[in-house]
């Protein structure tokens, strides 16, 4: 498992889980202008899928194998940042991408006017609370320090985790992504310290507890069973990761049929087995019962 090359998702992340303001970079791998189309020989249909991080190739391996049996060659196109894949998709350099959650996609659409959309949900990465000093949330006491990510998306989600754990109460008037200023009550008078998400795992020895992004927890060797509180807010659809396509392509009957097969191939028992067996439950299927292409 190529854990050291894992990139944040929440996108996990959290993945995902990076700030909605992520920017920059490009990918030479996406320079080819490739849309889902038959080869000259009329054999396999090639679908170029944009991803960020080799972990996605592991997650998509069962789907790739299944699609090959159906005459579809799923080709991975790696990107080094989180802005370029949507630009490449909108420009027709790739056919689909799968790296982001709903909040991030909507922010990209709002900022750049992309005519791209979610065609299938993939997974959610829980945002868990870890500690090297205490064994349960009940052991946290007044004056203890709890670290959370300092970016808007992950920070807001982390505060919701602390609320679900019973440590704080967020104001009813808070926006979807609350901030520390939106805390109405400290049930336990903890000190919340905002840090860069990627450095939080290495600070566990210096704080009492910390909310750690799933990808960084994986990279740091933290296991889900080690969490002192497990994120159970997995029904928040804005945090679900997805597969995106150009809206115009969904008007092409042949491409639409191909993309339906791609979604179905990912949303399979074999993929869920990879989630559980290879990644120890850090990826949890989300929204597979929603047929987003039913009316296309």
d(CA 272, CA 123): 9
Tell me, rounded to whole angstroms, the distance of Cα 196 from its chain centroid.
17
Over residues 214-238, mean pLDDT: 90
d(CA 68, CA 154): 36
Residues forming a β-bridge with 49: 76, 96
Nearest to 73 by CA among 266, 258, 268: 258
Q: How far apart are the first and last CA of the chain?
A: 37
Residue 5's alpha-carbon distances to 57, 74, 75, 78, in angstroms, are: 11, 21, 19, 12
pLDDT at 16 over 60: no
Q: For residue range 252-271, what is the model confidence (pLDDT) as tens digits?
A: 999 999 999 999 999 999 99
Q: What is the mean pLDDT of the chain?
A: 87
pLDDT at 13 over 60: no
Token pair of 171 as six digits: 């104001």
pLDDT at 21 over 60: no
Q: How much is the pLDDT for 39?
A: 39
Q: How confident is the model at residue 62 (pLDDT cuts 50, 70, 90)?
A: very high
Task: Look at the block and give the residue holding tokens 């989180």.
Answer: 82
Over residues 72-100, mean pLDDT: 95
Q: Pick the residue with more confidence: 198 or 261?
A: 261
Token pair of 288 as six digits: 């597979």
Q: For residue range 108-149, what is the model confidence (pLDDT) as tens digits?
A: 999 999 999 999 999 999 999 999 999 999 999 999 999 999
Q: What is the DSSP string of 277-291?
A: IITTTSSEE-STT--
pLDDT at 36 over 50: no
Token pair of 24 as six digits: 């920059």
Tell me, rounded to whole angstroms, the distance of Cα 271 from its chain centroid.
15
d(CA 271, CA 58): 9
Most confident of 35-44, 49-58, 64-73: 64-73
Q: How much is the pLDDT for 42?
A: 58
Q: How many CB atoms within 10 Å of residue 78?
A: 18
Buried b (16+ CB within 10 A) or exposed e, 114-127: bebebbbbbbbbbb
Q: How much is the pLDDT for 10?
A: 40
Q: How much is the pLDDT for 292?
A: 97
Q: Pick the residue with more confidence: 24 or 156?
A: 156
Q: How much is the pLDDT for 1?
A: 40
pLDDT at 33 over 60: no
Q: How much is the pLDDT for 214?
A: 85
pLDDT at 96 over 50: yes
Residue 175's alpha-carbon distances to 49, 150, 160, in angstroms, are: 33, 16, 12
113-117, 154-158, 216-220: least confident range: 216-220
Alpha helices in the chain (DSSP H): 55-69, 84-90, 102-112, 152-164, 214-219, 253-266, 269-273
Q: How confident is the model at residue 285 (pLDDT cuts 50, 70, 90)?
A: very high
Torsional sign, CA 169, 175, 176, 178: negative
Q: Pick the residue with more confidence: 11 or 76?
A: 76
- The DSSP call for residue 54 is T
d(CA 213, CA 127): 5
Q: How much is the pLDDT for 99?
A: 92
Q: How many CB atoms within 10 Å of residue 188?
A: 17
pLDDT at 152 over 90: no
CB 194 within 8 A of CB 149: yes
Token pair of 201 as six digits: 């795992």
Q: How much is the pLDDT for 108?
A: 93
d(CA 136, CA 246): 46
Over residues 289-295, mean pLDDT: 95
């Amino acid at each position: 498992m190529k854990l050291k090359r894992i990139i944040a998702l929440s996108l996990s992340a959290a993945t995902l889980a990076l700030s909605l303001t992520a920017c920059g970079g490009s990918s030479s791998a996406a320079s080819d202008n490739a849309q889902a189309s038959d080869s000259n020989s009329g054999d396999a249909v090639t679908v170029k899928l944009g991803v960020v991080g080799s972990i996605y190739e592991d997650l998509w391996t069962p789907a790739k194998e299944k699609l090959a049996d159906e005459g579809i060659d799923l080709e991975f196109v790696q990107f080094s940042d989180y802005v370029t894949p949507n630009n490449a998709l909108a420009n027709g350099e790739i056919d689909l991408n799968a790296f982001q959650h709903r909040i991030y996609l909507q922010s990209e659409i709002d900022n750049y006017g992309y005519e791209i959309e979610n065609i299938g949900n993939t997974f959610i990465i829980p945002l868990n609370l870890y500690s090297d000093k205490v064994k349960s949330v009940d052991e946290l006491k007044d004056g203890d320090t709890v670290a959370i990510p300092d970016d808007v998306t992950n920070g807001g989600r982390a505060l919701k985790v602390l609320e679900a754990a019973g440590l704080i109460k967020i104001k009813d008037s808070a926006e979807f992504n609350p901030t520390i200023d939106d805390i109405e009550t400290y049930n336990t008078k903890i000190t919340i310290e905002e840090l860069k998400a990627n450095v939080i795992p290495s600070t566990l020895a210096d704080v009492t507890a910390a909310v750690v992004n799933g990808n960084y927890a994986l990279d740091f060797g933290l296991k889900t069973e080690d969490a002192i509180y497990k994120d159970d807010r997995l029904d928040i659809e804005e945090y679900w990761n997805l597969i995106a396509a150009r809206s115009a392509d969904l008007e092409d009957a042949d491409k639409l049929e191909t993309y339906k097969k791609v979604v179905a191939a990912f949303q399979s028992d074999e993929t869920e087995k990879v989630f559980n067996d290879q990644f120890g439950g850090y990826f949890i299927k989300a929204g597979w019962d929603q047929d987003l292409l039913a009316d296309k």
